[in-house]
Amino acid sequence: MADPAPVVVPGRVAFVLKGYPRLSETFIAQEIAALEQLGLPILIASLRHPTDTRTHPVHAEIRAPLLYLPEYLRDEPLRVLRAWWHVRRWPGYREALSLWLGDLWRDRTANRGRRFGQALVLAHELPADIVRLHAHFLHTPSSVVRYAAHIRGLPWSGSAHAKDIWTSPAWELREKLADCDWLVTCTGTNRDYLATLSPPGRVELVYHGLDLRRFPPYRQQRPPRDGSAPDDPVRLLSVGRLVEKKGTDDLLDALARLPVGLHWTLVHVGGGPLREALQQQAQRLDLDGRIHWRGAMTQDQLIQEYRDADLFVLASRIADDGDRDGLPNVLMEAQSQGLACVASRVSAIPELIDHGVTGILVEPRSLDELAGALARTIAQPALRTSLGQAGQARMSSRFGMQSNLVRLAVKFGLRVPPADINAGP
């Protein structure tokens, strides 16, 4: 009989994030918590202090210690100087300096200088037991990680998501992908693009997936509202930051085109810089009495919003600077609760939603098409039920977190049963 496979005990990994904790990045927190449960020791390094006043329950489960780097070098000059004084003679310092100068030549910004200063502090203050650096997001965090990894002589890897891919120049993506050990990304659309810039096999698709323990399936029958009763309107829900790529302004314009006799209300969850402008737009369109702006919510509060809603809508689009959604977790969350979804046919959303079967897809910025899809699903509760049940079944079978997470765990050196390793997309 063959000898059993040796048990691999990985060393501690430093996860470098732009900010921690963040309400809008639940997918990162659930990944860290799950990897810890599988046995991976983690240190979290954050480039910024938190700005959210609340956290999700999953944040309380994470045991990893926190290292906050200086957000602005001018705020902690002695810390940066002390780091430079110690690492300047280390073997990898000159190589990291050369990389940074090459980047600075093509991107002559203060932000580029701040990245190197943060990398100096990270390299100097990393505990001795760190064996790998891992960057969440391929823009700022991976720059800091790349410089620090060269200074310390450590391998590095990364996770790429959405804005970090589509707003970064090709030269920078190409050089980082050539330099890292491996990179995972959360959509097939992302993977196909990054594969054109990287060595073969360097980029792998690993969906974030949804932790169904935190979003247990909702099986209750929703009321058969059809928009005909003024005192019992169909309840629409949209969740997302109030930024350009979420297309909330398009959603408001589409809602204004719905038939006058169709009765609905919209709850929006999420904060962001465009909130005031969008509220003013709703007033101009005479919609403000039908829209409830809830602001940011914790995960446990949000679950109840999904369950109270009749229809979920997300009008994503590509922003003027190229920023776009990847595969929005809120769509998976909505589907986990059996909620029918209307969304834009943009980026990786069609990887989740099969048009006409597990949801309704419309072209981004097509206001008449969006209004028509909303009118139809508002008026047809049976259609909403069919789409919601089909979406729930497909999401749980293909986009559950566990089957995707184990593939990431293996890359960090964790031993996972073979049946789990082979699971996934």
In angstroms, how far is the first alpha carbon of the chain from the final one? 33
Q: Are the C-beta atoms of 331 and 388 separated by less than 8 Å?
A: no
Q: For residues 323 and 317, what is the distance between their CA atoms, to the nearest angstrom?
A: 9
Contacts of 284 (CB under 8 A, 6+ apart): none
pLDDT of residue 226: 97
Q: For residues 238 and 314, what is the distance between their CA atoms, to the nearest angstrom?
A: 6
Q: Show the tokens assigned to 69.
A: 């780097």
pLDDT of residue 417: 57
pLDDT of residue 212: 84
Reference 375, options 252, 281, 257, 230; nearest CA is 257
pLDDT of residue 9: 53
Q: Are the C-beta atoms of 132 and 13 separated by less than 8 Å?
A: yes
Sign of the dihedral defined by the CA atoms of residues 319, 321, 322, 323, in that order: negative
For tokens 């996860």, name the residue.
Answer: 15
pLDDT of residue 322: 87
Q: What does R_g of the chain's alpha carbons equal in angstroms?
A: 23
Q: Which domains are assigned to the chain?
A: 12-209+400-421 (3.40.50.2000), 234-398 (3.40.50.2000)
Backbone dihedral region of 417: left (phi > 0), alpha (psi from -120 to 50 degrees) or beta?
A: beta
Question: Position 68: which residue type?
Answer: Y
CB atoms within 10 A of CB 73: 19
Question: Position 314: which residue type?
Answer: L
Q: Show the tokens assigned to 352.
A: 């989740």
Q: Show the tokens assigned to 208.
A: 């974030």
- 303: part of which helix (H) or strand (E)? helix 299-308
pLDDT of residue 389: 96
Q: Are the C-beta atoms of 183 and 203 separated by less than 8 Å?
A: yes
**Residue 267 buriedness (CB in 10 A; 0-12 / 13-18 / 19+):** middle
How far are the Cα atoms of 81, 97, 121, 250 from residue 84, in angstroms, in the given order? 5, 11, 8, 49
Reference 327, options 161, 114, 167; nearest CA is 161
Beta-bridged to residue 311, according to DSSP, are 236, 340
Q: For residues 77 and 332, what is the distance between their CA atoms, to the nearest angstrom?
A: 44
Backbone angles phi, psi at 43, to 5 degrees: -115, 135
Backbone angles phi, psi at 318, to 5 degrees: -85, 125
Q: For residues 102 and 216, what is the distance between their CA atoms, to the nearest angstrom?
A: 49
Q: Are the C-beta atoms of 296 and 266 separated by less than 8 Å?
A: no
Alpha helices in 265-298 (DSSP H): 275-284
pLDDT of residue 10: 67
Q: What is the pLDDT along the chain (425 residues), one digit of tens a residue?
A: 344 343 445 689 999 999 888 877 888 888 999 899 889 999 999 999 988 777 778 888 899 999 999 999 999 999 999 999 999 999 999 999 999 999 999 999 999 999 999 999 999 999 999 999 999 999 999 999 999 999 999 999 999 988 889 989 999 999 999 999 999 998 888 999 999 999 999 999 988 878 888 888 898 999 999 999 999 999 999 999 999 999 999 999 999 999 999 999 999 999 999 999 999 999 999 998 999 999 989 888 899 999 999 999 999 999 999 888 888 889 999 999 999 999 999 988 999 999 999 999 999 999 999 999 999 999 999 999 999 999 999 998 888 777 678 888 889 988 765 444 334 44
